[in-house]
Amino acid sequence: MTTSAAIPMIPLGVVSSDPIRAEGLLGIFDGHSRIQAVNSELRTLLEGDALRYILLDVSTTYAWMDTLFFVRRTRPEIRQIVLGPANDDEVVMRSIVAGGRAFLDIDCELEQVRLAVDTVLQGSIWAPRRILSMLIDRLLIGSATRHSNDLEKLSPRERQVLNRILEARSNREIAEDLGIEERTVKAYVSSLMRKTGVQNRVALSMLAAQDASARALE
């Protein structure tokens, strides 16, 4: 008789200066099939190398942007999900630049927090598409042709994947849309990063927007 190996749980650090809010955030993930939420002080959570995701409730923190940058400097591989001040476009863009991969208003529904975390676990960003578009426009200033030669090296399938990354689709969504395995999508994403010399999906989105703009002008 054989038994299947248990799927390892993914640790999610939860940080809040308000104990009641911390308990509420932990409760969101009770019974989750993949996530094990752990509450502790920020510096304690950043020790070691097991943690890859962290939910930061910075709604009551004055220097909340400094907190995001601190996490980014200390553990750049950690993906941050941020519960922050009023949902202002400029604030959201600043949080993404500082390392956030999801930004939610403090008054959002608890289910949205869970969905945002699941989205980040899939490798995507949880933010309005208008925000991603604005951010890309800013980052593209002065670099419109930087990677044009690299984009010419892409295969038709790689270009299809790149275009869907621009639409903020997860690996699973891309796989379903193109009729391929999710692991194949991951391989394409790795190939795209290697060919273009970028380090993450946000940079790939920038390249896709850059390419689309250039083609529109031809």
DSSP at 25: H
Q: What's the Cα-to-Cα distance from 106 to each of 39, 51, 87, 110, 183, rounded to whole Å? A: 18, 23, 8, 10, 35
What are the distances in angstroms from CA 107 to CA 32, 59, 84, 87, 123? 22, 10, 9, 9, 25
Please give the pLDDT value at position 53. Answer: 94
Those residues with Cβ within 8 angstroms of residue 58's Cβ, 6 or more apart along the chain or in another chain: 64, 67, 68, 82, 83, 84
114 close to 95: Cβ distance less than 8 angstroms: no
Tokens 């996530």 appear where?
Answer: 35
CB contact set of 22 (below 8 Å; sequence gap of 6+)? 14, 15, 16, 39, 57
Strand-strand pairing, 100-105 and 10-16: unpaired
Q: State the amino acid at position 75 in one-letter form.
A: R
pTM (2 decimals)? 0.60
Question: What is the pLDDT at residue 142?
Answer: 42
- The pLDDT, as a whole number, for residue 217 is 44
Q: What is the pLDDT along the chain (218 residues), one digit of tens a residue?
A: 455 456 788 999 999 888 888 899 999 999 888 899 999 899 999 987 889 999 998 876 667 778 888 888 888 889 999 988 766 777 777 787 777 888 888 888 888 898 999 989 888 888 777 777 777 666 655 444 455 556 777 889 998 898 888 776 788 889 999 999 999 999 999 998 888 877 777 777 766 666 665 554 44
Domains of the chain (ranges; CATH) run 10-127 (3.40.50.2300), 136-217 (1.10.10.10)
